[in-house]
Amino acid sequence: QEWLFITEETGEQVQMAYADEFAKIIDEKSGGNITVTTYEYGGLGTEKDQIVQLQEGTVQLAVTSPGFIGNTIKESQIFGLHFLFPDSVEKTHEILTESEAINEDLVKQYEAIGVKPLSFWTEGAMQWTSNKPLESPADFENFKMRTQGSDLQNESYQAYGANPDGYSWGELYTALENGTMEGQENPIFFIADASFHEVQDYMTLSNHNNYVASTTVNQEWYEGLTEDERALVDETVDELQSWVFEEQKRQNDEYLSVIEETTEIIELTEEQRAEFEKLATPIRDYYRENISTVDGAILDKLEQEIEEMTAE
Ligand code: 6CS
C-alpha cells in the first residue's frame, strides 16, 4: 500500500528531511510492503490547501504549522505567543514532547476537525530579518511584517506597533525584494535555504519564539489502520522526535555562517529583549479573552507545566 505525506517545505529542509526519514523507516520496518510518498510544498497547492487535503484524506500524513490553521483551530494559536517557551530550544523541545496541555488537550481541538496530531516539535528559535535594523519596539512602528496569518501572530506584532500581514512563504522572497513586506520571522535554516537573507539587510537574533511544527494524520485513516500498522506509525513518530531535534539543530547551526556572509547580524542585549517581552506578555490575556474557546484553559495548564519543567 501507499501512504501520501505532504510537508510545507522543500528540498532537504527540516520538514522534508523528517518526511523522507519517516518514509525510509516505514519502508524498512514493513519489509517494503508500505511505501510512503512524500510531497514538497507547492506540489499540492498552498499550506492552507494542504490542510484541506489532509482533512479530506487525499493525503494521509502532513507536517502542519499552527500559524496556517490557527483561524480554524483557535487554540493552536497559542504557539503565536512570543516569549512563552524558555530560551533553550532543547528545553522547549522537551516541553513540546511531554506537555499534557499540548499532547492531550490541544490534540482534542484538532480532532474536532478530523485531524490528529501525533507529535509537536520545534524547527528552532525564530529570528527577525528586515530591511532596517530592528532593535527596539520603536523600530517596528508601521513596519510591514510578514506572518503566516493567524490572528494571534498578527496581534503579537501589532503590540510592537507593526503592521503585520499573512503571506504564503512561496511568494515571500519577491514581496521582501520589492518592499511589499519589510521583514519576516523564521528559524535560521529556513531563512538561508529560502534565500530571504539575499533580499534583507539585517537579521536580529531575537529568539522571541520557536517555530513549532506538528506531525498530523487524517484521523479516520489513522483509526482505520490495523493495530500493527498503527503501532508502526506511532513507533516511528516516537523515534523521530529526538531525530528531528538533532536535524533542526544541525541545519540551524550550519546555516548561520551562510547568512553572515551577506547580512548584518544584530544581537539584542538583555534589556532590549526585555522591552519586547514586556509588550508581548499581555498578549497572553488577549489570547485567553479573544481567541481561546476554552477560556485559556490550555494556556493556564501549559504555563504551569513550563514553570515546573524549567524549575527542575
Ligand atoms: O514561514 C513559513 O511559512 C515557513 N517556515 C518554515 C520554517 N516552514 C514552513 C513554513 O511554511
Q: 47 CB less than 6 Å from ligand 1?
A: yes
Give the whole-angstrom CA distance, residue 171 versus residue 17: 22
Question: Cα-flanking dihedrals φ and ψ of residue 11, to 5°?
Answer: 55, -125
Q: 65 CB less than 6 Å from ligand 1?
A: yes
Annotated domain spans of the chain: 2-311
What pLDDT score does 48 carry?
87
Give the whole-angstrom CA distance, residue 10 versus residue 169: 11
Residue nearest (by alpha carbon) to ligand 1 atom 11: 8
- Give the pLDDT confidence of 59-117 residue by residue, as tens digits: 999 999 999 999 899 999 999 999 999 999 999 999 999 999 999 999 999 999 999 99
What pLDDT score does 45 carry?
86
* E strands, 40-92, in order: 61-64
Give the whole-angstrom CA distance, residue 188 versus residue 247: 13
Residues of the chain with pLDDT under 70: none
- Give the pLDDT confidence of 30-61 residue by residue, as tens digits: 999 999 999 999 888 888 889 999 999 999 99
Q: Which three cell numbers stand for residue 168?
A: 504564503
Taking the complete model, does pTM exceed 0.90, yes or no? yes
User: CA end-to-end span of the chain, whole Å?
Assistant: 45
Measured in Å, residue 259 CA sits from the centre of ligand 1 at 17
Say if CB 306 and CB 298 are below 8 A apart. Answer: no
* E strands, the chain, in order: 2-6, 35-39, 61-64, 115-130, 144-147, 163-166, 183-187, 202-205, 210-218, 264-267
What pLDDT score does 47 carry?
86
Give the whole-angstrom CA distance, residue 109 versus residue 294: 10
Q: Treating both helix axes as pointing N-terminal to C-terminal, what angle do 14-29 and 227-260 enclose, rounded to 10 degrees?
A: 150
10 CB neighbour count, 10 Å cutoff: 16
Which atom of ligand 1 is least distant from the CA of 211?
7
What pLDDT score does 44 carry?
87
- Ligand 1 pocket: which of 13, 15, 172, 190 to mutate (most atoms within 8 A of CB): 190
Q: 193 CB less than 6 Å from ligand 1?
A: no
Residues 6+ positions from 39 with CB-CB distance below 8 Å: 4, 5, 6, 7, 59
Pick the CATH number of 2-311 from 3.40.640.10, 1.10.3720.10, 3.20.20.70, 3.40.190.170: 3.40.190.170
Give the whole-angstrom CA distance, residue 170 versus residue 174: 9
What pLDDT score does 43 carry?
86
Q: 8 CB less than 6 Å from ligand 1?
A: yes
Which atom of ligand 1 is least distant from the CA of 7?
9
